[in-house]
Every structure is written in C-alpha cells, then in structure tokens.
Amino acid sequence: MTIKRSFKAAVAMAVIAAVGFAPMANAATKPTTAQKLQLQYLVEEEKLAHDVYMYFAANVTSSKFANIARAEQNHMDQVAVVLKTYNYFNPTTTRAPGVFRDATLQSLYKSLTAKGSTDIWAAYSVGVEIENLDIADLQNDLGSPMPADMKLMMDRLLAGSFNHLAAFSR
C-alpha cells in the first residue's frame, strides 16, 4: 500500500471514529412507536445472546463464547446509541445478567441455558439457535422503512450475527 493510500485510509478511519456508529437522526425521520418498541426488544434480544454466551463461557468453558459475548455487548452498545439518540428508555441498563423485562426473552434465557448446559456441542447448538433467531428478527425488521441510523445499526448487527452463526457452525 502506498503512503498516500495509507494516509487516506487513516483519515477515513479517523472520520468514522469521530462520527461514531450511529449518525445523528434526521429530525424529519423519527422512529414510529412500533419501531421504538422494536429497538427496545432488539437491545434485550442482544442482551439475551450476551448473557447466554457469558453463562456458557463460565460453565461450558469455550473461548468462543467469551469472544462472541464481547461482540454481543458491542451490539447492545450500538442499539443503545440509537435508543439514546431518540431519547428512548433502554431496558437493559438496570438488568442483571439473565434478567429481562420481556417475559418471552426471560423464559427463553432459562430454556436455552438449560439446553446448552449438557455439553459443548449442545451449547454450540444453542449459539446457532440464538443467531438464527437474531438473523430472522433483523431481516424482518429491515423489511420496513425506517430512519437511516436505525437501518445502518441493524445492517451491522445482521452482518455480525452471520459471523457469529459461522463461528458456531464450524
């Protein structure tokens, strides 16, 4: 790579770092009430993945779970930025690991940790199940019009979920 090309790449990275992951919302395009609820569910769904993987990292002991749990925390942070942009409540900020506001996610956490606790292969299977759920939900959400910052964040989460799915499928 030439020095000029390296400089351009460094400048581009600096701009991305300065702007952050979620551009400021366009005042003319605010999420609907349904999209607000989607965002709140989405951050809890990412917390589900994070908490299940942290549980497995501690109890099944595979470095894959700790590594992907860190990525899931990044996903939660990305959703949190969009929630904050629109001044929406983030239901994950006051919840302990394994505790969810959404009753369905609470039940899912209990069943997935139990199912994946039998052995490493069961835990990997739960990882595949979680990522497939995330992918399906994100693809469904992305099928509707939404503000650009929401779409950018969901596109990034979707790419990350495909990467996690591949890691659990190897």
Is the pLDDT at 12 greater than 90? The verdict is no
What is the distance, to the nearest Å, from the Cα of residue 74 to the centroid of all Cα atoms in its chain?
Answer: 7
Q: Which of 30, 40, 145 is nearest to 83 (CA)?
A: 40
Query: Using one digit for the tens of pLDDT, what is the confidence trace for 68-124?
Result: 999 999 999 999 999 999 999 999 999 999 999 999 999 999 999 999 999 999 999
Domain holding 82, by residue range, is 36-169
> Helix 63-85 to helix 120-142 angle, to the nearest 10 degrees?
20
Residue 86 counted as domain residue: yes
Query: Using one digit for the tens of pLDDT, what is the confidence trace for 18-75?
Result: 344 444 444 447 889 999 999 999 999 999 999 999 999 999 878 899 999 999 999 9
Residues whose CB is less than 8 angstroms from the CB of residue 57 and which lie 6 or more positions away in sequence, other chains included: 63, 65, 66, 69
Residue 1 counted as domain residue: no
Residue 21 counted as domain residue: no
Could you tell me the CATH number of the domain that includes residue 152? 1.20.1260.10
Residue 10 counted as domain residue: no
Per cent of the chain over pLDDT 70 is 84
Least confident stretch, 11-15, 71-75, 119-123, 129-133: 11-15
| Average pLDDT over every residue of 151-155 | 97
Total domains, the chain: 1
Residue 83 counted as domain residue: yes
Residue 11 counted as domain residue: no
- Which pTM does this prediction carry? 0.81
